[in-house]
Structure 1
Amino acid sequence: MRRQPLDSRVLRSAGYDPATAQLEIEFHSGDVYRYYAVPPSVFRELSEAASPGAFFNRRISGRYPTRQQYDG
């Protein structure tokens, strides 16, 4: 999934697949998580947020099924 950079101290980038409603977030730690059943409006708002990290904590974290992505 193609991700775009975010201006955040916590989140490095985010990408969204509207066909599957999957949001992928890369953290500055290098961890990548995929969130399922995420409405497109949530990705749009994350991309436009003045503080993507605060938006993530308020509107995404703990609200959607999640799986950590692994290389390999």
Structure 2
Amino acid sequence: MHVVLQSKLLDAAEYDMASSRLKIFMSNGQIREFCDVPDYVIDDLRNTSSPGSYYMKLIRNRYRDASLG
């Protein structure tokens, strides 16, 4: 599932249900990929009024960032 986001921090997100991976496309061109993310997170991210705040508070430090190795 690919979602375009209205945010100064984030451009888009992709979620792969088979692997439970969430890929975040940052406005600065960076891409972050998180492991073991529940499927409701992509819906919450899409529906929140502030995707950037949601990412900072509820994704960034909660799930393992596979893109950092």
Instruction: Flag whether TM exceeds 0.5 (same fold).
Output: yes
Q: CA deviation at 1:57?
A: 1.0
Show structure 2 runs of 5+ residues with no match. Answer: none
Q: CA deviation at 1:12?
A: 0.5
Q: CA deviation at 1:58?
A: 1.2
Identical-residue share of aligned pairs (%): 29
1:52 corresponds to: 51
Letter in 1 for 2:3: Q
TM-score by length of 2: 0.90
CA contact (8 A) 1:3 1:24 kept: no
Please give the per-residue CA displacement for 1:8-60, whole angstroms capped at 9, x wherever unaligned: 00001001001110000000100001000000011110011100001111110
Aligned residues: 68
**SS in structure 2 of the partner of residue 68 of structure 1:** helix
